Copies of this chain bind each other. A is one copy, B any other.
Amino acid sequence: MTETDQRADLGKDIMRIFNLALLSPLLLTGALAQTTTAAPAPTATLGLTISHAGVRPVVDGSSKFFTGSAKVEQLFPVNAPSRVSGGIVTFAPGARSAWHTHPLGQVLIITAGTGRVQMEGGPIQVVHAGDVVIIPAHVKHWHGAAPDSSMSHIAIQDNLDGDAVDWLEPVTDQQYNGGK
């Protein structure tokens, strides 16, 4: 396979992702009622479970836990004895999570856009597509989009007794903008 072939092949793949990324928040929210059974069942432990692109429900992040628009798509639930679950969150510009902690930690893989991440007492850090953020257990933090860019990340976390997050207070505009 030549580099030109690879470039062409990657180009096709990127267009597929582009279309997926563009369509999923528009189509899947509307299709939610029809597709609530499309997510893999937590009890499907006997064989491989494949959930295809475009059929997983996307829901609005609760205003209790997010400021601004956050779309949440579960990619995979916990499948014991694994403890891991994962999803994609897409934040509109300026949107962010509330402050929160994870009992066993979390990893964010930034898949699109530019965002902000901050742990309590630390600086706001800017993240871009391709960056990976490792958040240790019990570290109070928030994450979201930059003011002028949307941001999407895959979020991966271990679940402890069915709990993967402990929500705290909202991130104020002053905090989001780096004020003390």
Residues of A within 8 A of B (CB): 1, 6-7, 9-11, 13-14, 16-18, 20-22, 40, 44-54, 56, 75-76, 79, 81-84, 86, 92-93, 104-105, 107, 109, 111-113, 117, 119, 122, 125, 127-137, 139, 141, 149-150, 152, 154, 156-158
Residues of B with C-beta under 8 A to A46: 136
Chain B residue nearest to A52 in the complex (CB): B131
- Chief secondary structure at chain A's binding surface: mixed
Residues of B with C-beta under 8 A to A158: 81-84, 158
A150/B6 in contact, CB under 8 A: yes
User: What's the nearest-Cβ distance from chain B to residue A114, in Å?
Assistant: 8
User: What's the nearest-Cβ distance from chain B to residue A148, in Å?
Assistant: 9
User: What's the nearest-Cβ distance from chain B to residue A79, in Å?
Assistant: 6
Chain B residue nearest to A41 in the complex (CB): B134
* A-B pairs with lowest CB-CB distance, top 7: A53-B130, A13-B112, A82-B105, A49-B134, A45-B136, A14-B18, A20-B130
User: Of B136, B139, B156, which contacts A156 at CB under 8 A?
Assistant: B156
B48/A134 in contact, CB under 8 A: yes
> How many angstroms between the C-alpha atoms of A107 and B86 in the bound complex?
9
